[in-house]
Amino acid sequence: MTNRKILHIDMDAFFASIEQRERPELVGTPVIIAGDPNKRGVVSTCSYEARTYGIYSSMPSKTAHVLCPNATFIKPRIDFYKTISNTIFDIYKEYTELVEPLSLDEAFIDVTYNKYDIKSAVEIAKEIKRKIREKTNLTASAGVSFNKCLAKIASDYRKPDGLTEITTENYQQMIDVLPIEKFFGIGKVSLNQFHQRGIFTGKDLRELSEANLVEIMHKRGSIIYQNIRGIDDREVDPDRQRKTLGKEITFAMDITTGADIRSHFEEVAVRLEKELINRKIKIKTVIIKIKYFDFSIITKRYTCDNYIQSKNEIMYCIDILLKKCKLEKDIRLIGIYTSNLLEGEEENKQLSLWDL
């Protein structure tokens, strides 16, 4: 499938860049999208200027403030960011309906056959970048290749405001020099295991057998084995569904294990129910997350026989899961996540079957 033309577009520090655009005095300064650093919370994202201080997503806001005390902290405005994201996705759809959203600021686009019959995917990427800048005054980085994996690698090659093409002629050379942490799916644990074996680059990875990779990374090992050889047959899926949905609450002060933890979970469940109803989503699997004061985390999951949506149904699952938890330390954060989602028209079809 090397005749495909796939783009991966990734907006540059999207949330932070929007805030810098709205407040020109912040341009060129460290901006951190997070809650008040004097309270609990984590970093959502940050500007490139803040990243030079070692700030990264999910870092506690207090830690970020210690590392970069002169940064401007701004509470996320997700609804505002969504309106700008919609404008950007409208640009993508000027060329094709084969647009697979990965998040508000990231998408795959299959331009093999496009509405303007433009032969060059690089030219389309240039046009998209230009239109994004003209309509939003923001920059994007683009990757162009013959599959999704390589297009994503390419978009990360020259950030910000970059454009890189990986071709059938140069793909192996470009993969071989990549640090292994650039490959999707290689996290801290597997990264340490690879480093201990003297494996640091794509070329090093390619010298391992598939069995070796599976031993370290389990199922993901077979995917990595294909990816480092430039193989990825996944289609761009415009109907890609959200795999999980969740809500969290970070406490202003750690709560003790003797506190009524159930009432706090019920508060989160109310918010989650509202989100599910608004998005017309039903769920089958409920996952609870508990983060202790020392940042250690426990998770438990329960899968229902039928799809659910209401707060009471969610709390039924929570009660089952809480009985399995030994709460031994003060708690910093709790969350409820869901998976096995049923959305939109698919939900209506399922309900009609139940009603028979």
- Which residue blocks in 35-155 are alpha helix, DSSP H? 48-51, 61-67, 78-92, 121-136, 148-155
> 347 catalytic, yes or no?
no
Residue ranges of the binding site: 10, 105
HSE on the CB side for 42, CA within 13 Å?
12
E strands in the chain: 6-11, 31-34, 43-46, 72-74, 99-103, 106-110, 140-145, 163-165, 245-255, 281-292, 297-308, 331-339, 342-343
Chain centroid offset of residue 30 CA: 22
Which residues, at least 6 apart from 300, have a Cβ–Cβ distance to it below 8 Å?
A: 287, 288, 321, 324, 325
Write down how long the chain is. Answer: 356
Residue ranges of the binding site for Mg(2+): 10, 105
Which residues, at least 6 apart from 206, have a Cβ–Cβ distance to it below 8 Å?
A: 175, 176, 228, 229
Rounded CA separation 109/1 (Å): 16
The 8-class DSSP code of residue 24 comes to: G
Of 22, 106, 275, 343, the catalytic one is 106
- The catalytic residues are 106
